Amino acid sequence: MPLNLPDKLPAIELLKEENIFVIDNSRATQQDIRPLRIVILNLMPLKITTETDLIRLLSNTPLQVEISFMKIKSHTSKNTPIEHMKTFYTDFDKMRDEKYDGMIITGAPVEQMDFEEVTYWDEITGIFDWARTHVTSTLYICWAAQAGLYHHYGIPKYSLDAKMFGIFEHRTLQPLYPIFRGFDDVFYVPHSRHTEVRKEDILKVPELTLLSESEDAGVYMVMARNGREFFVTGHSEYSPLTLDTEYRRDLSKGLPIRMPRNYYVDDDPDKGVLVRWRAHANLLFSNWLNYFVYQETPFNIEEIK
């Protein structure tokens, strides 16, 4: 089934070029199907890039999915045209009475600040709390994962000596769990962060289940509330060139940045990128949609609580 997206969203044409089947709202209303309602709180600075990355992965299932984009009032994006935000994003205050089958909350470029120093901390923690009674399953990514673990369970974050930057090998701790259906014994995930959460803190909280970790990158996936919350520290949604763009951007600014590990062919940027995480990323999002959204959400969406 296709994705049901807002009319004229830039990602539609970008994904059609990749032969990904998407339809806009006008066509979707002609189909007599109750689609899964997914809301995305996109905190990344390059909104259109992140939209496209996430929609690409959400499209890889036989389920029809209706996508909405949420924004917060206490922060104005400086890297996305205001016309795009006005056209495709809705303030949380106007969505708070709605219910959704699934929610994705992205990372944000504020991880080196204390949580309470983030200007929109009060607003976003209010959204975290709202999601618990208005969403069947919420997927927290990167900084949002750290923020959600801290807000709900008191898990601290720690600064790293050097940026965790590259593609890292991971293993599952509970390989028979449905979120890992179809996974290989070893899988790869991009990481790009200056902070971390630690295994010993996770294991102290009985409400949390550590599902996956990396010898090099540490904690990767944590689950709570029987799958109503997933906290993912990496960026499985990244496109092949995202880390390359970040690396070259920081180099051009004279910032201290190491070459992303395990990323370029023969560790040579001129030889291009070796993509090793695409299959895992598609499985992660399709398993989440299938086993923790579609199979758990009530047909009458108002029954979510």
Say what the pLDDT of residue 1 is. 45
Please indicate whether residue 116 is annotated as part of the active site: no
91 strand-pairing partners: 71
How far is it between the farthest Cα atoms of the chain? 55
Any idea what the Cα angle at residue 82 is, between residues 116 and 127, rounded to 5°? 35
| 142 flagged as catalytic | yes
Helices (H) and strands (E) in the chain, counts: 9, 12
Confidence at residue 32, expressed as pLDDT on a 0 to 100 scale = 47
Between CA 209 and CA 174 the distance in angstroms is 10
Nearest to 199 by CA among 210, 188, 186, 215: 210
Distance in angstroms (rounded) separating the CA atoms of residues 143 and 235: 10
Structure tokens at 23: 């339809």
Beta-bridge partner residues of 100: 135
Share in percent of the chain as helix, strand, coil (round to 5): 35, 25, 35
**237 flagged as catalytic:** yes
Residue 210, CB half-sphere, CA atoms under 13 Å: how many?
19
Q: How many degrees, rounded to 5, is the angle at CA 190 between CA 104 and CA 60?
A: 50
Q: How would you write the pLDDT of the chain (305 residues) with one tens digit per residue? A: 455 667 666 766 665 565 555 555 444 444 445 789 999 999 988 888 888 899 889 987 878 889 999 998 876 666 666 777 677 889 999 999 999 999 999 999 899 999 999 999 999 999 999 999 999 999 999 999 999 999 999 999 999 999 999 999 999 999 999 999 999 999 999 999 999 999 999 999 999 999 999 999 999 999 999 999 999 999 999 999 999 999 999 999 998 899 999 999 999 999 999 999 999 999 999 999 999 999 999 888 899 98
pTM above 0.95, yes or no: no
Catalytic residue among 152, 170, 235, 280: 235
Per the residue annotation, which of 134, 142, 191, 229 is the catalytic one? 142
Is residue 272 within 8 Å of 264, Cβ to Cβ?
A: yes
Task: Give the Cα-Cα-Cα angle 295, 300, 302 (nearest 5 degrees).
Answer: 110
**Among residues 152, 191, 237, 280, which one is catalytic?**
237
pLDDT value of residue 31: 43
Burial class (CB in 10 A: 0-12, 13-18, 19+), 240: middle
